[in-house]
Amino acid sequence: MDVEVVAEIDRLPIDLLAHIFVLFSSFTDLAQASGVCKKWKQGVMESLAHRHNLSFENRKMDDESTARLVYHAYNLTKLDMYIVVEMLGPRSRWDCQITDAGLLRISFAKCVSNLTSISLWGLTGITDEGVVQLISRTRSLQHLNVGGTFITDESLFAIARSCPKLETISLWSCCHVTESGLLALVDKCQKLKSMNVWGTRVPQDCFNNLLIISPALQLIL
Ligand SMILES: *[C@@H]1O[C@H](CO)[C@@H](O)[C@H](O)[C@H]1NC(C)=O
Ligand SMILES: *[C@@H]1O[C@H](CO)[C@@H](O)[C@H](O)[C@H]1NC(C)=O
Ligand SMILES: *[C@@H]1O[C@H](CO)[C@@H](O)[C@H](O)[C@H]1NC(C)=O
C-alpha cells in the first residue's frame, strides 16, 4: 500500500478499521496489518471479535501466536488449522509448529464451546493429549477434520464422549485408529452422516460392523 493510502486510512476510527480487517481472509495479511501501527493493531484485534471463521496455515503459525488470535476471536464458530506442504523447490518440507501446548492454550479460549467446525488437518506435531484436551471443551462441534494426524482411539473416545452433534469427521490416513475407536464413535455420535476413513488400517469387516450400527452412514474409503 502506498503512503498516501495509509495516511487516508489512518484517519478512520478503529471500529471502521476493524470492519475493513474483517474482510481480510489471509492470516498473513492480518499479521502485516497489525504490524503497521498501534491503531491498526487495535483494529485487527477488534476485527477478530467479529469473525465467524479463521484459518491458519501452519507453516506461518506457532502455538503462541495462534492461541493469542483465537483468544480475541470471541465469536468464532469455525477454526481451520492446516499444514501447507510446499512440494516444489529446494525448500520442500513438512514442518509443523502447532503442538499439544498450542491446543491446550486454545482449549481455554471463550469461543471453543461455540465452535461448530474444527480442522487440524495434517498437524503432525499434535497427539492425543492435545486433541483430547481441545475436544473435551467443545460443546457444539458438527464437523471435525483430524486427517493426516497421528491420533489413536484415545482421541476417538473423547470425540464420542464430547461431540453428540457431530455430523462429519475426516480420519483420512489416521493409521493408528482401530475398530474399537470407530465403533465407539459411530455408536455415540448418532448424528454422524459421513466419515472419511481413507488410508486407515482397519479391516473391511470393521466397516461392515459400522454400517450395522448406522446403516445410513456414508463411509469414504
Ligand atoms: C457475534 O455474532 C452474533 C451472531 O451472528 C452477532 O449478532 C454479533 O454482532 C457478533 N459480535 C461481534 C462483535 O461481531
Ligand atoms: C468466513 O466468514 C465470512 C464472513 O464472516 C464468509 O464470507 C466466508 O465465506 C467464510 N469462509 C469460510 C471458508 O467459511
Ligand atoms: C455461544 O453461542 C450462544 C448461542 O448462540 C451465545 O448465547 C453465547 O454468547 C455464545 N458464547 C460465546 C462465548 O460466544
Closest C-alpha among 85, 104, 106 to residue 94? 85
CB 27 within 8 A of CB 55: yes
Could you write out the DSSP letters of every residue in 5-61? HHHHHTTS-HHHHHHHHHT---HHHHHHHHTT-HHHHHHHHHHHHH-SEEEEEGGG-
What is the position in ligand 3's atom list of the atom closest to the CA of 110? Answer: 13
C-alpha cell at 183: 465403533
The rounded percent of the chain whose pLDDT value lies above 70 is 89
Q: Is 27 in the pocket of ligand 3 (CB under 6 A)?
A: no
Q: Which one of 3.80.10.10, 3.10.105.10, 3.40.50.2020, 3.20.20.70 gives the CATH number of domain 52-220?
A: 3.80.10.10
Q: Which one of 52, 55, 78, 115 would you pick to mutate in the ligand 2 pocket, going by the greatest count of ligand atoms within 8 A of its CB?
A: 52
Q: Is 74 in the pocket of ligand 3 (CB under 6 A)?
A: yes
3-state secondary structure of 145: strand
Task: Let me know if 145 is exposed, middle or buried by CB neighbors in 10 A (0-12, 13-18, 19+).
Answer: buried
pLDDT one-digit tens code per residue, 89-107: 555 455 568 999 999 999 9
Give the pLDDT score at 96: 62
Closest C-alpha among 51, 96, 95 to residue 69? 51
Strands 168-170 and 194-196: parallel
Ligand 1 atom 1: residue of nearest CA: 75
What is the position in ligand 3's atom list of the atom closest to the CA of 111? Answer: 13
Give the pLDDT score at 206: 95
pTM metric for this prediction: 0.88
Domain ranges of the chain: 1-50, 52-220
Poorest-pLDDT segment among 39-48, 56-65, 83-92: 83-92
